[in-house]
Structure 1
Amino acid sequence: MSQTPITLDIHKILDLLPHRYPILLVDRVLEIEPHTRIKALKNVSINEPYFQGHFPKRPVMPGVLILEALAQTAALLTFTEERHDENTLYYFAGIDDARFKRVVEPGDQLILNVTFERRMRHIWKFKAHAEVDGVLAAEANLMCTVIQGGEGAAK
């Protein structure tokens, strides 16, 4: 018997992530397989503030924001597995092998796929890729860190 996929709406995402508009880049989680993978959605709208300058005659979602959306998706996978509170900090710690394969434009639905690779102490490693209409838009290996109780935070 197949299990119903775990999903998260925007309200649960807001409970789990500290990000808010305009930097919150995940609109919905479509599937979570705990300890393994997550699939999320970012609706790319012409109303995004970065499109005013990137680029006025041909709006394109900046690659760095695609990577940030993937990192936020990885954070959601982590936070659905590990206990945390409002003092837990989640940082993007590194990126390897980032490649951009397709332009992401207003009106696109960016599908964010992140797979857990391994964890070493506070460092989590993931393989991530984003696609539009089934076509690879970007891929990267991500490293993130979780710090409990605000340790190491700037004071």
Structure 2
Amino acid sequence: MREHNFIGVGGLLYHQSKYLLVRHSYGEYNEQWIIPGGFVKDGEHPSAAVEREVFEETSIKAKSKELVAVRTRQRSEKCLDCYLVFTMDYLKGEAISDGKENSAAGFFNYEEVLNLKNVIPLSKIIIEKHHNGALRSLELVKDIDPYTPDNQFLHLYI
């Protein structure tokens, strides 16, 4: 169990009326289907991390688009994890398992997602909300400058 706070990211990629999922092959989500993602590296921006993670896990090049969900979870007295979910724009590639963190990767239409066994609840909730048009994005503030010289990389979503 981790003994420090960490940030995770997930990428909701909807392409040609299908959702990208991977079947985990380790840890708490072993053998479960989940939207691709992983951990943010030290100093890495979450939007870059989700692009890297989606590519590493599936060989799909995608661009992060909108922040659509934030989930926090207290894992212990010393560890909180924060998970950020971004929608993604497909750029190129075929869904291929990385053979390490996941044992399968593929695109599934909504009905197939509903019929898959072992889709983790959070991924299913996000996909259902997207399918029903109820997934709302937190927008990056661009019309007001919340930045200061010492905070040049601050991103504000509201």
Shorter-chain TM-score range = under 0.3
- TM score, norm. by length of structure 1: 0.26
- TM score, norm. by length of structure 2: 0.26
**Using CA pairs below 8 Å that are at least 6 residues apart, which structure has the higher relative contact order?**
2
